[in-house]
């Protein structure tokens, strides 16, 4: 069925026909009219997005609770506030960001105007995951709207409630000639990716990131890849175990561990592990009570498939907290779990966990931890906990990751002055704040010369006499 501005290919006979051609043609036509170029148009779209967030907050809270058992607090801090801040910043800075940037000139070009023009890209595709379904869809959208593009949003099929609201309600707040939502999963995304876009912004797994990049390569379409991976969390012997446990447990179990930047595993010495385990148990009980299943603050696993994968991972190492006996498939509930004695070769240390399981691996020293981290793929996030500033700085200096934080968990996305993006296997490109605007703009190098003053240019024309060569 076609809701205004929305293509729902799942409900159409797709055999032998292209379900997206008309929508994409319409969006390209709208772009070529120049409609999205003026700052006023872009500001109106951003204000529409802001109204959408304000007027539908309760509805979104309800569907987030259905999809992921998200609490109101969780939804506020990790979905709405981040989106609202990004919209407000874009509205406040739009004119500055759009302005031509005048650059330094050489003597030879001193009479020219040299500047960078921020051009609209055209038709962009945003592909979003399910874990922060509002934030990870709308924050890229802010950048794409501010930069004056037309766009297609491909929501994740797994967060069904949120997908429906974003598909049916959001378009009412935006200019529908420039914006469309596409529903569907891998098959629909594959069909969509056969088309040419001017930029693809993908958030999801490295596996699908490769599929998206291969499809984009056929059209030489630039891609931004916001991917995931295993995020190490080093805990030094010189630390207060309870403080570290509070912070690690909070950030690991926020959204039931389904967070791309959550600490994926802990690296520490056997002694620190012994001090950390009771502290982690105490933090988990304090946050979620003696029966975490009845806690309104703990999320649920998004799908049966993900739930079964986590159950499989619980067989790795030895369960120190939580584990197999505290799962409930009828609710897709898994208790906050800590595994010890895990081996590097076990699945829990080979794949991104993305759930409420925290393995602890033992290392004997900071050097060994750094070697271990550098041996793997470059992570999206890296954490180091220590009372020693030197230890934290060494970890920062001698490793690489998309984001880094010393002595705390992730908060980078609440600060639009910091870019969010991976490196190597965890992604390419960056966004948030002005970084989003730049990601969705072409920086056109422009030189404007005076039409006259030809005499000044004579010296460079052939024939090159000896005298000129000496010059």
Active site residue ranges: 226, 260
Distance of alpha carbon 419 from alpha carbon 118, whole angstroms: 19
Q: Give dist(CA 2, CA 176) in Å, integer.
A: 13
Residue least distant from ligand NAD (Cβ) = 228
Q: CB–CB of 75/161 below 8 Å?
A: no
- Describe the crossing of helices 389-398 and 366-375 by its angle, rounded to 10 degrees: 20
| Nearest distance from C-beta of residue 282 to ligand NAD, angstroms | 28
Residue 149, both tokens: 């593009």
- Please state, in angstroms and rounded to a whole number, the distance separating the CA atoms of residues 175 and 275: 57
55: number of Cβ within 10 Å: 12
Rounded to an integer, what distance in angstroms lies between the CA atom of residue 429 and that of residue 422?
7
34/190 with CB nearer ligand NAD: 190
Q: Which is nearer to ligand NAD, 236 or 352 (CB)?
A: 352
Query: Using N-to-C axis directions, what is the helix angle for 135-146 and 81-98, rounded to 10°?
Result: 10
| Least spacing, CB of residue 151 vs ligand NAD, in Å | 15
CB of 51 to ligand NAD, least distance (A): 25
Task: Tell me whether residue 162 or residue 203 sits nearer to ligand NAD (CB atom).
Answer: 203
User: For the chain, percent helix, then strand, then coil, each to nearest 5?
Assistant: 45, 15, 35
Q: How far is the CB of 194 from ligand NAD (least distance, A)?
A: 11
Instruction: Please report how close the Cβ of residue 128 comes to ligand NAD at its closest, in angstroms.
Output: 6
Backbone φ and ψ of 316, nearest 5°: -85, 145
With residue 249 as reference, give the H or E element that holds it.
helix 241-253
* Interface ranges with ligand NAD (CB under 6 A): 127-131, 136, 154, 156-157, 185-186, 189-190, 203-205, 208, 211, 226-228, 260, 352, 354, 380, 422, 427
CB of 122 to ligand NAD, least distance (A): 21
Residue 102 near residue 114, CB atoms below 8 Å: yes
Written as one string, the DSSP assignment of 322-356 is S-GGGEETTTTEE--EEEES--TTSHHHHS---SS
Pick 163 or 236: Cβ nearer ligand NAD: 163
Q: Decide whether 74 or 236 has the Cβ nearer to ligand NAD.
A: 74
Q: Which is nearer to ligand NAD, 118 or 306 (CB)?
A: 306
């Amino acid at each position: 069925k076609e809701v205004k501005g929305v293509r729902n290919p799942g409900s159409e006979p797709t055999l032998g026909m292209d379900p997206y051609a008309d929508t994409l043609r319409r969006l390209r036509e709208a772009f070529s009219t120049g409609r999205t170029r003026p700052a006023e148009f872009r500001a109106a779209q951003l204000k529409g997005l802001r109204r959408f967030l304000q007027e539908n907050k309760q509805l979104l809270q309800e569907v987030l609770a259905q999809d992921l058992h998200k609490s109101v607090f969780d939804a506020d801090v990790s979905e709405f506030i981040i989106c609202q801040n990004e919209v407000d910043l874009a509205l406040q800075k739009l004119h500055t960001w759009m302005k031509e940037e005048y650059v330094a000139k050489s003597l030879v070009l001193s009479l020219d105007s040299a500047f960078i023009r921020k051009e609209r890209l055209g038709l962009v595709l945003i592909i979003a995951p399910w874990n922060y379904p509002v934030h990870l869809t709308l924050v890229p959208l802010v950048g794409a709207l501010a930069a004056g593009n037309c766009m297609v949003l491909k929501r994740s099929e797994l967060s069904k409630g949120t997908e429906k609201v974003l598909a049916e309600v959001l378009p009412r707040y935006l200019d529908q000639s420039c914006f469309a939502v596409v529903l569907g999963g891998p098959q629909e995304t594959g069909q969509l990716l056969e088309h040419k876009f001017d930029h693809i912004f993908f958030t999801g797994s490295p596996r699908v990131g490769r599929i998206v990049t291969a499809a984009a390569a056929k059209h030489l379409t630039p891609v931004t890849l916001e991917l995931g991976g295993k995020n190490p969390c080093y805990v030094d012997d010189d630390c207060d175990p309870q403080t570290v446990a509070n912070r690690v447990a909070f950030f690991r179990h926020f959204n039931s561990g389904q967070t791309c930047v959550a600490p994926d595993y802990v690296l520490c010495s056997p002694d620190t592990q012994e001090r950390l385990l009771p502290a982690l148990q105490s933090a988990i009980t304090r946050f979620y009570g003696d029966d975490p299943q009845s806690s309104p603050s703990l999320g649920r696993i998004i799908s049966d498939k993900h739930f079964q994968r986590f159950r499989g991972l619980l067989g790795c190492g030895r369960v120190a907290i939580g584990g197999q006996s505290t799962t409930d498939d009828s609710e897709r509930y898994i208790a906050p779990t800590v595994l010890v004695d895990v081996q590097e070769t076990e699945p829990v240390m080979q794949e991104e966990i993305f759930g409420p399981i925290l393995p602890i691996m033992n290392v004997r020293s900071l050097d060994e931890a750094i070697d271990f981290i550098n041996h793997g793929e470059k992570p999206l996030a890296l954490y180091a906990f220590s009372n020693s500033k030197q230890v934290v700085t060494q970890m920062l200096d001698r490793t690489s990751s998309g984001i880094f934080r010393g002595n705390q968990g992730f908060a980078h996305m609440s600060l639009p002055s910091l870019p969010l993006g991976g490196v190597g296997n965890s992604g390419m490109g960056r966004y948030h704040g002005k970084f989003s605007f730049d990601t969705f703009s072409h920086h056109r190098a422009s030189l404007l010369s005076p039409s006259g003053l030809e005499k000044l240019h004579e010296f460079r024309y052939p024939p090159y006499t000896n005298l000129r060569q000496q010059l």
